[in-house]
Amino acid sequence: MNRANNTSTFYHSADGLQYNNTDNGTCTVIDFFAITVSFTTIYSVLMIASLVGNSLLIFASLKSKITMNVIIANIAASDLLFSIVHFPREIVVYIKGSTVFLVHGWIGSLLCKICSFLTDTTIAVSTLSLVLITVDRLVAAVFPRMFVRITVKKRRFFILGTWILAMAIHSPYFYTFRLDVRNGETLCISNWEPAFDHESTHIRYYTALLVTVLIVPLVTVCILQNYNLGETEKRQNGAFSFFRGPSTTKEKD
């Protein structure tokens, strides 16, 4: 296939942006209005569902007498904060058709840092809280005597630890995220310069972030869940053998 002879043109029409491939004569029409309405509706529904659902979950978890539900309430709180910070920004982006940051000056710079920081911090809190729930269930099933000594106060301390760790991991956001004017538009971007080389530092940092926030917690959850299932199965088999009593065999004369 000779790519050198391929030519294509873009032009706007009343229906949307048309992509015309002159090699084969095909023409594809992209209706940006329909895309905007679709994504805006989806994000709006997700935001409302998240606000209502997570608020009810927090209320129910805190009212419950099950102590482990405090951790579930923590996940709901992080998801609720994510919805408040992230979804409105995405809705504005699709409505305006641009990632332009609407707030300028030092307030805009502060919002750029805080919104980016909170968005990713809440994700880390959710994954770390999943590890807490898995450990809590493991202790309850395998070490019941230890489980009764884990009070609500201790669980709240562990929950606080997830927020502190998540904030510490994402603390570089307060340096990297900033407002930058490009082609007359104000954007909220991440840039490691001038203190570090942007390209190499960006790759190393987000690789480490992927490992610590996503891969390690999920692998830990899988390992602990499998161990918990194995121990539970052993206990069930032991209890079943106990109730059956000793096996009897008939001796052949």
Q: Residue 247: phi, psi to the nearest 5?
A: -75, 145
d(CA 118, CA 82): 7
What does the DSSP 8-state code read for residue 191?
-
Using one digit for the tens of pLDDT, what is the confidence trace for 110-161?
999 999 999 999 999 999 999 999 999 888 888 888 887 888 888 999 999 9
d(CA 217, CA 166): 12
d(CA 179, CA 190): 9
Using one digit for the tens of pLDDT, what is the confidence trace for 7-45?
444 444 444 454 444 455 555 556 677 888 888 899 999
